[in-house]
Amino acid sequence: MSGLPDTSIDLRLIAMKVGKPTRSNCGVCHFFGGGGNNVKHGDLEKSMFNPTKETDIHMATEGANIQCTDCHKTENHQMLGKIYSLSSMNRNRSTCEQCHTETPHAEDILNEHTLKVSCQTCHIPVYAKVNATKTEWDWSTAGQLKNGKPFEENDEDGNHTYLSIKGSSKWGKNLAPDYIWFDGSADHYLLGDTVTDTSKPIVLNTLNGSYKDRDAKIIPVKIHLAKQP
Ligand code: HEC
Ligand code: HEC
Ligand code: HEC
Ligand code: HEC
């Protein structure tokens, strides 16, 4: 019967629900990227299905209840918004300015900062506010067994700290971001590239930019550390 839909699925009901995507349509993928809730990003996780204002001023169900696609504007399936670690070019970004303008503050001194300091740097002082995010992943410990069987160990919040198939992990909550200069472009370590300096960690996704670049701004990032083959 391969290829046929499960007989318990009501296709007529599904067809009647065709419409614009809501947070849950995007969240079922993006909140669980990397194999579990909040593993990847730190600020895209299941509490965003129905966040409070303290968690997210924009998406708060009791507030503006903004959907992902209000910011990630889409035209003909071209969606604004880029993943810093994947997108090498500085284009088709989603920005705060598209709603708030470049001068959102009554105070000039704050507006002047936005030339060099991204909005997110001041307005996202901490992330992973509700649930922890994965910060370190050591694959080299994978494969251990207890009584000949794979096992798992969890912290008090139920996050995996060890899984035989995935190795060891560290998690963090209410984390302050790291800050870097970013010009919007990135480089990537690709399979087959030669590693010349083995004395320090390899940066898989290099975000370009420095104090000297005219267009670079300070942005907040989550740095994920890993040991992998
Ligand atoms: C079926 C799973 C799935 C769904 C549903 C989904 N995405 Fe994605 N999205 C992905 C994957 C996979 C990527 C590639 C990046 C990655 O590996 O994390 C991606 C990338 C993105 C990017 C970065 C694009 C780039 O070029 O850098 C944005 C922004 C995004 N998605 C937003 C959304 C929004 C908004 C929705 C809801 C309208 C949505 N996604 C629904 C899986 C999904
Ligand atoms: C208030 C506006 C806003 C809302 C609401 C919003 N985003 Fe974003 N999102 C952004 C901005 C700004 C960026 C940075 C993108 C860029 O520089 O192009 C971003 C980045 C992303 C990225 C890339 C993350 C990374 O690690 O680099 C993904 C994936 C994404 N958003 C998905 C979503 C999903 C899914 C939702 C809904 C649950 C959502 N966003 C809601 C503004 C928003
Ligand atoms: C789709 C339009 C839209 C985008 C894009 C957007 N915002 Fe907002 N923003 C709003 C709305 C609407 C509110 C008011 C929410 C409320 O008060 O319930 C708001 C509220 C805020 C507030 C709180 C203001 C106050 O009076 O306390 C801040 C700070 C803020 N946004 C910053 C940002 C930043 C930073 C970004 C980019 C990551 C961004 N916004 C992107 C629409 C947007
Ligand atoms: C240097 C840090 C800093 C930067 C950069 C910054 N903000 Fe703010 N923002 C603040 C502070 C502080 C306040 C509170 C001002 C007050 O209460 O008088 C604020 C308030 C706001 C408000 C509420 C309106 C108001 O005047 O109180 C919005 C909306 C906002 N910022 C959006 C943004 C956006 C969009 C950007 C990027 C274009 C941005 N901010 C960049 C520090 C910053």
Using most ligand atoms within 8 A of CB, pick from 79, 205, 207 the residue to mutate for ligand 1.
79
Residue partners of 196: CB distance under 8 A and separation at least 6: none
| CB distance 136 to 169 below 8 Å | yes
The ligand that comes nearest to the alpha carbon of residue 79 is 1
**Low-confidence spans in the chain with pLDDT less than 50:** none
Q: Pocket around ligand 3: residues whose beta carbon is below 6 Å from it? A: 57-58, 63-64, 66, 70-71, 96, 98-100, 119-120, 123
* pLDDT 10s digits, 143-185: 999 999 999 999 999 999 999 999 999 999 999 999 999 999 9
Q: What is the dihedral of CA 44, 45, 46, 50, to 10 degrees?
A: -40
Q: Whose CA is closest to 152, among 141, 144, 163? A: 163
Q: Whose CA is closest to 207, among 128, 44, 89, 117? A: 89
Determine the atom of ligand 4 nearest the C-alpha atom of 99: 35
The ligand that comes nearest to the alpha carbon of residue 103 is 4
Cβ-count burial of 226 within 10 angstroms (0-12 exposed, 13-18 middle, 19+ buried)?
middle
Q: In this structure, what are the phi and psi dihedrals at residue 213, rounded to the nearest 5 degrees?
A: -70, 130
